[in-house]
Amino acid sequence: MGLHKTEFKGLMGWIDARMPTLMSEYKKHLSEYYAPKNFNVWYVFGGLAITALVLQILTGIFLTMNYKPDAAHAFASVEYIMREVPGGWFIRYMHSTGASFFFIVVYLHMFRALLYGSYRKPRELVWIFGCLIFLCLMGEAFFGYLLPWGQMSYWGAQVIVNLFGAIPLIGPDLSVFIRGDYVIGDATLNRFFAFHVIAIPLVLLGLVVAHILALHDVGSNNPDGIEIKDTLDPKTGRPLDGIPFHPYYTVHDIYWLSLFLIAFFAVLFLAPEMGGYFLEWNNFIPADPFQGPPHIAPVWYFTPFYSILRATTEYFMWFLAAGTIAYALLVYFSLKNTLARLAALAIALVLVVFMVVPVLKLDPKFWGVVLMGISVLIFFGLPWLDQSPVKSIRYRPGWHFWLLVAFVVVFVVLGYFGTQPPEDTRNLISQVFTLLYLAFFLLMPWWSRMGEFKPVPARVSFAAH
C-alpha cells in the first residue's frame, strides 16, 4: 500500500513507485514541456546562461582548493594557481573568461526579451526573477573581482563601497559596516570571499529554479509574441504550435552550445585577458593602498552604469531637475485622477528641491549613485512600462525597432566611455546619453502605444526545415 501505480518496469518501475516525482518532473520540464516551434537563435541564450553558471561553479570549486582569502596571501595564491598548480592557469582563465561570457550571454538573453516582449503578461514574474538573477550576477562579479587582490580589485572595491558612503546620514557608517574596517582590508576580503563562494551562489541557484519554474507554468514566449496555449489540439489538449523541449530543443541548444564553446575556448587560449577588457592589466599588480592606478575602470559589463554615475556633476543637476519637472508635467496631463496628478507634481517638486535648491540640495555624488541604481533597477519595471498592444517587434511599427537599436547604441557607447579615462567631450556625450537612456524607459508608456501596429496572426509563422 502507498505505492504509486507505475507504467515503468524493472529498476525504473521500482523507483517510480516510490518517488513518482522524478519521472513526472522529467515529463513536465523536458519531454512534455511544449515549447513554441518557431524559436530562433535568440532562444539559445537561456540554456547557454545555465551552462555558463555550471562552468563558473565547477571552476570556482577547484579554484577555492588553492586560493587563500587573506590580504597577505591572496595575490600570491592566485599567481601560484596561474604558474605552479598543474592546469591551474586553465581553470583560472575559464573562471575569468567565463564571467565575461556569462554577462555577454545574459545581456543577449535580456535583449531577446526586449525584442519579443517576453516580459509581458503573463510572464512578469519570470522577468522579475530574471532581473533578480541579474542583480545577483552583478554582486557575484563585484565580490569576485576583489579576490585576486590586485590593484584594480582593491581600488574598484574602494570606489564601489564608497558609493554607499554617498547616502545621506547613514552613508559613512554603512560603508564602514560593509568593509568591516575603516579601509578595504583583510576583513573586507574575507567577507567578500564568503559572499562570492557561498551566500550569493545559493541565492542565485534558488532564483534560477524559480525563473524556470515560473516560465514553465506560463509557457515560453516566441518571436511572434503569440500565446501557443490559445490554440490547442482538440484531441490531445496540447498546443498545436508546440513541440516537446526534449529532444527538439535540447538538440538545438547543444548545437549552439558547441558554437559557443568554440568561441569561449578561442578567447581562453588566444586572448584570455581580451586586450584588458576581461582581465585588466592593472590587476596583475598587487594591491597598493597608497598608490592607486592612474586610471580606474570596472570590467566592461559594469561600465554603462558606471558612465551614468560619472556623468552626474553639479551642472548636470539642472538638466536633471528640468527633466524631472517636464516628466511630472507629462504624467500630470496624461492622468485623469486628480489625486494621482497632484502626487506626481508633489514628488517631482520634492526631488527638484533636493537636486538644486541651495542648502537643501544633496551632493551630485549622491544623485549619481541614485541614477546608477535607477538605470539598473528600471529593468524590473519593463512589464508595466511597455504598453504596446502587441508583444513582438515583428508586429510593432518599424520605428520601434530603430528606437531599440538606438537604445543599444546608447548602452554600448556609455559602456565604452566607462572604460575610458574622464574627458570633457566624452563626459558631455555621457550626460546626453544618460538622459536618453532614462528617457527610453520612462517615456515607454507613451511611445510604445504610438504608431501603426500590424495585425498579429493566430498561429506562429513557421517554415518546416
Partner 1 sequence: MSTVDPNDAVDESRRSALILTSLAGGAGAVALAVPFMASLTPSERAKAAGAPVTADLSQLAPGERMTVEWRGKPVWIVRRTPEMLESLKKTEGEVADPQSTRTAFPTPPYAKNEYRSIKPEYFIAIGICSHLGCNPLGPLAAGTAAPLGNAPGFLCPCHGSTFDLAGRVFKNKPAPDNLEVPPHKYLSDTVVLIGDDSKA
> Which residues lie near partner 1 (CB under 8 A)?
155, 158-163, 165-166, 176-177, 179-183, 185, 187, 191, 289-296, 310, 312-315, 363-365, 368, 421-424, 427
What are the b/e assignments for 68-81, b being 16+ CB within 10 Å? bbebeebbebbbeb
**Nearer Cβ to partner 1 (125/159):** 159
CB 117, min distance to partner 1, A: 37
**Nearer Cβ to partner 1 (112/179):** 179
CB 365, min distance to partner 1, A: 5
The whole-angstrom separation of Cα 68 and Cα 85 is 14
CA proximity to 407, closest of 137, 111, 102, 119: 111
**Nearer Cβ to partner 1 (120/310):** 310
CB 447, min distance to partner 1, A: 32
CB 332, min distance to partner 1, A: 31
The whole-angstrom separation of Cα 77 and Cα 268 is 21
Residues 6+ apart with CB under 8 A from 457: 224, 226
**Nearer Cβ to partner 1 (223/364):** 364
**Nearer Cβ to partner 1 (258/425):** 425
**Nearer Cβ to partner 1 (53/166):** 166
Geometric angle at alpha carbon 371, from 338 and 354, rounded to 5° = 60
**Nearer Cβ to partner 1 (315/333):** 315
The 8-class DSSP code of residue 35 comes to E
**Nearer Cβ to partner 1 (82/159):** 159
CB 326, min distance to partner 1, A: 23
Helix (H) or strand (E) holding 441: helix 424-442
CB 287, min distance to partner 1, A: 12
Could you tell me if 391 and 116 are in contact, meaning their C-beta atoms sit under 8 angstroms apart? yes
Contacts of the segment 61-64: beta carbons below 8 A, 24+ positions apart: 62/91, 63/91, 63/92, 63/95, 64/197
Helix (H), strand (E) counts: the chain: 19, 2
**Nearer Cβ to partner 1 (291/337):** 291
Could you tell me if 392 and 225 are in contact, meaning their C-beta atoms sit under 8 angstroms apart? yes
**Residue 242, strand partner residues:** 36
Residues 6+ apart with CB under 8 A from 105: 45, 48, 49, 52, 260
CB 177, min distance to partner 1, A: 6
CB 296, min distance to partner 1, A: 5
DSSP assignment string, 333-376: HH---HHHHHHHHHHHHHHHHHHHSTTTPPPHHHHHHHHHHHHH
CB 199, min distance to partner 1, A: 12
The whole-angstrom separation of Cα 198 and Cα 204 is 10
